[in-house]
Structure 1
Amino acid sequence: MIHSLSLADVVADHARSRPQVTAVVDGDLRLTYPELDARVTRLAGALAGAGVAGGDRVLWLGQNSYAVLELLLACSRLGAVFCPANWRQSEDELRFVLSDLTPSAVVWQPSDLTTALRAGAARTPAWIQAGDEYERLLADATPREFAQVADTEPVLALYTAAFSGRPRAALLSSAALVAHATQLLVVRQMEPGFTFLNNGPLFHVGTMMFCLATLQISGTNVFTPAFDPQEVCRLIDAERVTQAFLFGQMIDAVTQANAGGKYDLSSLRFVSHSAEWDDMITVDDSPWCRSKMGGYGQTEVGGMLTFLGLAEGGAGFAGRPGPLVQVRMLGPDGEEVPAGEVGEICARGKTLFSGYFARPDVNAVKLAGGWHHTGDLGRREPDGTITFIGPKLRMIKSGAENVYPAEVERALKTHPAVADAAVIGVPDPTWHQAVKAIVALRPDAQVTPDDLVEHVRGLLASYKKPRHVEFVDAIPKHGFTPDYDALDRAHGGGNYPGI
């Protein structure tokens, strides 16, 4: 395995190369890289002693903690798969995760929810309570040698959005995570000494990808259970944090929490946001921050597939692919569509996931032809950059032309009177299907169907414009996406190709 580099290998090498660097900060706990590596070795032995073997799953039920990183690295060392569950989910949703993932061990933080889950759990798997029990298990463990695990083996499972009714666990290998971390640290221009505040949820790839990029560059990961503006300010000041998981309203909350200037936030090298914010921090000039941290991504690609920071001034607002991946826009026939036309965003390369856990039928479809079919629509612009259109979901066939609802919806939503919109196909005696727009207007806004049709005609090819427009109070949703089945039932949808 001369070419293999697992996450456990990364931390072991840092232990040799950077023995005095602080790897982890969590409350009073501070670990250097040698200390982290030693704990990971003991934890791997403890998990093996609890019955966890190669290929088994280990589930974390709790908020952010140093234990999340330790468990991931320990699973890398023994060849198991680690999954941090979404602690914001309901009891029913977490019971589904338990039954779907079938973990060999569950490490849990006490709460009303996890206590109820524990009480109703079967004798197996092993349940290990975070805190004292976890530390005793680690202290009593006998370090052992493990055979080297190929870096192509899955090590991290993250549950993705439940567009099909229930979520699926995307499996990411050490090789994919190391590759993605390398791309990210280049675009973000991370250097040794980089300190990341893990205040966003670690069950989300957006936080996890920065945690692992920080590990990759031998930086310092600071952990806090969840986002709290005052605590974020304190930790940035105390630990001289370089970057945190902050967007939009979170930035505003931190700005307000530090309105009196109690904390020194100047170590934070971050994106420009407002005059007050910019005065508190150091506005960063990396491509990542100059481009407002933009691009296109999803869990299945390790985080980011394309970066605006690689396409400053480009026509496409999703930027260009990272250097370790390939991206194509494929049509329904699996062939690449020409630049300027909409197709499904498909990808392959070093950062891609290994498929979904226990979903062979889904994997056969999603990975058909050697490409990951993202389920999202995009367009290659003439300058080679990429524009993200929206979720694919379904296609409308009007005459000989393919019409993707997400593209028409995007055009509709640019009208100032439109609060939300969804597009369905309705049977048409001449064209097989016609485009129908279901539109929710902003309060007190007024617009006619003809106005909206002409608005779309000015943005898209004429055949994509709606032939029918209906106004409603609100668009029914599945998560963040329209509930197209409900819309079809309510508004006469049908005749979809292949259905």
Structure 2
Amino acid sequence: MSVHRLTLGDVLGEHRRGRPLGTAAVDGDVRLTYPELDARVDRLAAALAADGVGAGDRVLWLGRNSFRVLELLLAAGRLGAIFCPANWRQTADELAHVLDDLTPSVVVWEESEAVEKARGQVSLDARWVRSGEEYEAYLPGSATAPSIEVSPDAPVLALYTAAFDGRPNAALLSHSALIAHSMSLLHVRQMEDGFAFLACGPLFHVGTMMFTLATFQIGGKLVFTPAYEPAEVCRLIEAERCTQAFLFGPMIDGLVEANSGGAHDLSSLRFVSHSPAWDAMITVDDSPWCASGMGGYGQTEVGGMLTFLGLGMGGAGQAGRPSPLVHVRILDPAGEEVAPGEVGEICARGQSVFSGYWNRPELNEAKAADGWHHTGDLGRREPDGTLTFIGPRLRMIKSANENIYPAEVERALKTHPAVADAAVIGVPDERFGQSPKAVVVLADGASATAEEIIEHVRGEIASYKKPREVEFAAAIPKRGHTPDYDALDEAHGGGAYPGT
């Protein structure tokens, strides 16, 4: 066993010894100290091992936010297995794809119509455990995890992302990558002893997960709530004296409205400035993370953030500088570094970079060409050394805090019997930054209304991805075999893409 080993399980074991009275997790009536969390993780790991879960096997969570997400991640980690919290808002078809693609050995799930339908669509030899009483009964009364030496480089977390070809891929992040990213985030956010994070954003999203893990890394308190609900979020911030929460513009506006009468004391929240009303409710934080507006460039494949604006405030580049544990190059298609001021692909390597996608050997080979992770995004190194994010090499729409890939929405549109061809662009949206708009060509002799098409897409993929507008056209302009998105933008009002 290497003296340099450090896994998530090791971090939990150290907190059990060093923080015997510290609160690890709060979820409704559940309150766990670090020793209590460690004991439950051991029991859960023993139960998973009894079901045959071992190194490289997958454990899937299908449900909303819960302290059980943290338990499952840590228990899988102690076995060398991989844990995946899937997007519970997906349709049955999308969830069936996850089940078929990931082939988990154990699925822990919350009851929903979509999950029930997805379960019936696949042939999967897995143990299904319903969250709640059945989950609690699944844990043995007293047990310890099998004694297994787990490599820090072993993948432990899978997050589905990157649906550029119409189907998402599961990015695999190792113990070492997650710990490295947490240490960088701890530095820029200036997280200190007593830090408490409210996980009110989705835990299948790297933005919530990265703060969850950074708080765990420092031995802070994690507060879980099933989903964002403004009044409940205000109550929890006050009751648990939360330092940070997963929030962005529209969510913050919802909290201001919910707490307009000042019913809850939100002053423990050290957060970014947003509006006079918001700033009066909280403590405006002066850490580099908050003072810079929580800016930078990142993606799931690098654990969250690759660069931080907080490390380059006042610089020319709006993405700041890289995390201290990675290095970045801007490369041309031949793999050569371009000069400052020139645009190329953002490529990286270092401690927090992912281990590749699950079951995607050809994609992994392309992504890791020449020993660099090719992000698929364009950027520019400014003369002062800071970085600017230009935009995806493949078109992406950013609506609120969600990435929407045109190929995925187009695939759903084309399953409508009346649609002969379709393309999706992003149009400026005053509230959400962008919203998806479909340009549709109907089949000869077919008819459909915009409302019918939107409702059809809602049934095929998650509702937030559906187009908010549909325009009908005689043809989709093409550049080779793909839509000419520049021409579509010009003709149909596209714009406001990330980085512009």
TM tier, smaller:
0.7 to 0.9
Q: How far off its partner does 1:372 sit?
A: 0.4
| Amino acid aligned to 1:16 | R
Give SS of 1:490's match. coil
Give SS of 2:158's match. strand
Q: How far off its partner does 1:137 sit?
A: 1.2
| Amino acid aligned to 2:224 | F
- Mark the CA change 1:20 to 1:332 in structure 2 (over 3 Å): closer, same or farther: same
Asked if residue 494 in structure 1 is aligned to residue 495 in structure 2, the reply is: no
- Mark the CA change 1:247 to 1:100 in structure 2 (over 3 Å): closer, same or farther: same
The match for 2:297 is 296
| Amino acid aligned to 1:13 | E
Q: How far off its partner does 1:2 sit?
A: 1.3
1:223-259 CA-to-partner distances (Å, cap 9, x unmatched) read 0000000000000010000000000000000010000
Q: How far off its partner does 1:161 sit?
A: 3.0
Superposition pairs of residues 282-321 of structure 1, within 5 angstroms = 282-321=283-322
Which structure would you say has the larger Rg? Answer: 1
The match for 2:378 is 377
Question: 1: CA distance between counterparts of 2:228 and 2:137?
Answer: 29
- Mark the CA change 1:119 to 1:362 in structure 2 (over 3 Å): closer, same or farther: closer
Give SS of 1:266's match. coil
Question: 1: CA distance between counterparts of 2:427 and 2:151?
Answer: 54
- Mark the CA change 1:257 to 1:440 in structure 2 (over 3 Å): closer, same or farther: closer
Q: How far off its partner does 1:121 sit?
A: 5.2
Cα RMSD between the aligned structures?
A: 2.7
Superposition pairs of residues 95-494 of structure 1, within 5 angstroms = 95-120=96-121, 122=123, 124-140=125-141, 142-393=143-394, 476=439, 490-494=476-480
Q: How far off its partner does 1:271 sit?
A: 0.4
- Mark the CA change 1:441 to 1:137 in structure 2 (over 3 Å): closer, same or farther: closer
TM-score normalised over the length of structure 2: 0.81
| Amino acid aligned to 1:62 | G
The match for 2:490 is none
Counterpart contact for 2:156–2:174, Cα < 8 Å: yes
Asked if residue 94 in structure 1 is aligned to residue 95 in structure 2, the reply is: yes
- Mark the CA change 1:441 to 1:308 in structure 2 (over 3 Å): closer, same or farther: closer
| Amino acid aligned to 2:477 | H
Q: How far off its partner does 1:51 sit?
A: 1.7
- Mark the CA change 1:491 to 1:119 in structure 2 (over 3 Å): closer, same or farther: closer
- Mark the CA change 1:387 to 1:161 in structure 2 (over 3 Å): closer, same or farther: same
Give SS of 1:139's match. coil
Q: How far off its partner does 1:138 sit?
A: 1.0
Question: 2: CA distance between counterparts of 1:38 and 1:296?
Answer: 37
Counterpart contact for 1:43–1:141, Cα < 8 Å: no
Q: How far off its partner does 1:39 sit?
A: 0.6
User: Could you tell me the percent identity over the aligned residues?
Assistant: 63
- Mark the CA change 1:333 to 1:27 in structure 2 (over 3 Å): closer, same or farther: same
- Mark the CA change 1:117 to 1:140 in structure 2 (over 3 Å): closer, same or farther: farther
* Structure 2 unaligned regions, length at least 5: 399-423, 430-435, 441-460, 483-500
Question: 1: CA distance between counterparts of 2:85 and 2:91?
Answer: 15
| Amino acid aligned to 1:250 | M
Question: 2: CA distance between counterparts of 1:15 and 1:47?
Answer: 21
Question: 2: CA distance between counterparts of 1:104 and 1:197?
Answer: 30
1:379-433 CA-to-partner distances (Å, cap 9, x unmatched) read 000000000000113xxxxxxxxxxx89xx99xxxxxxxxxxxxxxxxxxxxxxx
Question: 1: CA distance between counterparts of 2:265 and 2:481?
Answer: 61
Asked if residue 16 in structure 1 is aligned to residue 13 in structure 2, the reply is: no
| Amino acid aligned to 2:476 | A
| Amino acid aligned to 1:213 | A
Question: 1: CA distance between counterparts of 2:133 and 2:426?
Answer: 53
Q: How far off its partner does 1:119 sit?
A: 4.7
- Comparing 368-377 with 133-142, greater Cα deviation is found at 133-142
Question: 1: CA distance between counterparts of 2:426 and 2:119?
Answer: 44
Question: 1: CA distance between counterparts of 2:30 and 2:68?
Answer: 11
Counterpart contact for 2:78–2:145, Cα < 8 Å: no
Counterpart contact for 1:46–1:141, Cα < 8 Å: no
Give SS of 1:42's match. helix
- Mark the CA change 1:298 to 1:439 in structure 2 (over 3 Å): closer, same or farther: closer
| Amino acid aligned to 1:145 | P
Give SS of 2:108's match. strand
- Mark the CA change 1:14 to 1:439 in structure 2 (over 3 Å): closer, same or farther: closer
Q: What is the count of residue pairs matched by the alignment?
A: 424
- Mark the CA change 1:440 to 1:51 in structure 2 (over 3 Å): closer, same or farther: closer
| Amino acid aligned to 2:185 | L
Higher relative contact order (CA 8 A, sep 6+): 2
Question: 1: CA distance between counterparts of 2:196 and 2:133?
Answer: 27
